Amino acid sequence: MQTQEVPRPTNIAPIALLPSNPLHTRLLNVLLIIWRAMTISRKVAIGSAIVGFFIVVGLFGPFFMPYNPNATSNLFIAPPSGAHWLGTTVVGEDIFSQLIYGTRTSVFWGLATGLLVTVLSVLVGLIGGYFGGWTDDSLTLATNVSLVLPALPLAIVLAAYFPRGPLTIAMVILITNWAWQARVLRSQTLSLRSREFVTAARASGEHTWRIIFFEIFPNEIGLVVAGFVSTTIYVILTWAALEFLGLGDGSIPSWGSMLYWAQQAGALGGGLWWWFIPPGFCIATLGAGLALINFGIDEIADPRLRPERPVKATKSKKEFHADRLSEANHDSGVGGLLRNERA
């Protein structure tokens, strides 16, 4: 059999493969996606602005504090003034400096603890829901036991028997608050592990952990983000409650420790409002910002929760006059045709 060689054209220019996008372009694209997600909902935008404000204050505020938050002075229980914007404590400490430094402690320890709780919940939910069998039974048993135990009383007991400090409170909250989100993610994983794309990944020989974290986990990102936000709200409130009860390190300024020392000094009965209102207002505002983000995420994920825009029932004056003019022109045109036909 003779084979005939097909001539190849020589006048075709070679195609140059363009390199992938540089790192700064990919970072800009990620930031653009995040910006669109934040501005698609008004609630998410407002909540993100509130949380971003506290993060900026926590990052850069301590560098501009007028006083050392633990420094004492002879100016005891001074009301707010130009020298001390939020007054002083019973030992002459500047409350504004304590509030700024406490923002860094409360916000970043709260976010870090919420992230740890979310990571543990994701691991337990994904592993138990995917593997099943005795692995799922063991993790489900631990989850059910954790759900039955009251979280806050257990956290108080655990925090009282360990050395006081932020790390102790973070570990106590981690132990007592991971089960709710883990149960939700386990249920979702049980539903996803029998889908066609997971079966195809198994048939193609994909590794088990790759299937879990690259096939199943991306489909649960919405639940994870919403769970992280709601968990962080609870973590910040629990953190402030434990420190208010005296289970934290009182030497480290934070919103909860400020409320603790104000309660010990009788600030509420003595009318020292500038001592306990600012940290309480910060806790409430940060919680409201996180709650707005959570509500906005729910509206984005479920269009049925989005508020309906009111339909305009009346026309504007310009539209009304334009309609009347067009009707008049139409009537005059029809009348002219009838007169011509009669003639």
pLDDT digits (tens, 9 = 90+) for 201-252: 999 988 999 999 988 998 888 889 889 999 999 999 999 999 999 888 888 8
pTM of the predicted model as reported, rounded to 2 decimal places: 0.77
- Which contacts qualify for 141-150: CB closer than 8 Å, 24 or more apart? 142/179, 143/179, 143/182, 143/183, 143/186, 144/179, 146/176, 146/178, 146/179, 147/179, 147/180, 147/183, 149/176
What is the chain's mean pLDDT, rounded? Answer: 82
Above 90 in pLDDT, residue 333? no
The one-letter amino acid at 202? R
**Mean pLDDT throughout 276-301?**
90
Above 80 in pLDDT, residue 142? yes
- The pLDDT score that the predictor gives to residue 34 is 66
Tens digits of residue pLDDT in 34-89? 677 667 788 888 999 999 999 999 999 988 888 899 888 888 888 998 888 999 99
Which residue, among 251, 261, 188, has the nearest Cα to 223 in the 3D structure? 188
Separation CA 29–CA 36 (nearest Å): 11
Write down the residue that tokens 């729910």 correspond to.
Answer: 298
pLDDT category, 338, cuts 50, 70, 90? Answer: very low
- The pLDDT score that the predictor gives to residue 41 is 80
Which residue, among 161, 182, 180, 185, has the nearest Cα to 172 in the 3D structure? 161
The CATH topology of domain 40-304 is MetI-like fold (1.10.3720)
- The pLDDT score that the predictor gives to residue 310 is 56
- The pLDDT score that the predictor gives to residue 178 is 93
Which residue, among 37, 114, 106, has the nearest Cα to 286 in the 3D structure? 106
- The pLDDT score that the predictor gives to residue 32 is 76
Tens digits of residue pLDDT in 115-126? 999 999 999 999
Task: Report the 3 state secondary structure along the chain.
Answer: CCCCCCCCCCCCCCCCCCCCCCHHHHHHHHHHHHHHHHHCCHHHHHHHHHHHHHHHHHHHHHHHCCCCCCCCCCCCCCCCCCCCCCCECCCCCEHHHHHHHHHHHHHHHHHHHHHHHHHHHHHHHHHHHHHCHHHHHHHHHHHHHHHHCCHHHHHHHHHHCCCCCHHHHHHHHHHHCCHHHHHHHHHHHHHHCCCHHHHHHHHCCCCHHHHHHHHHHHHHHHHHHHHHHHHHHHHHHHHHHHHHCCCCCCCCCCHHHHHHHHHHCCHHHHCCHHHHHHHHHHHHHHHHHHHHHHHHHHHHHCHHHCCCCCCCCCCCHHHHHHHHHHHHHHHHHHHHHHHHHHC
Above 50 in pLDDT, residue 17? no
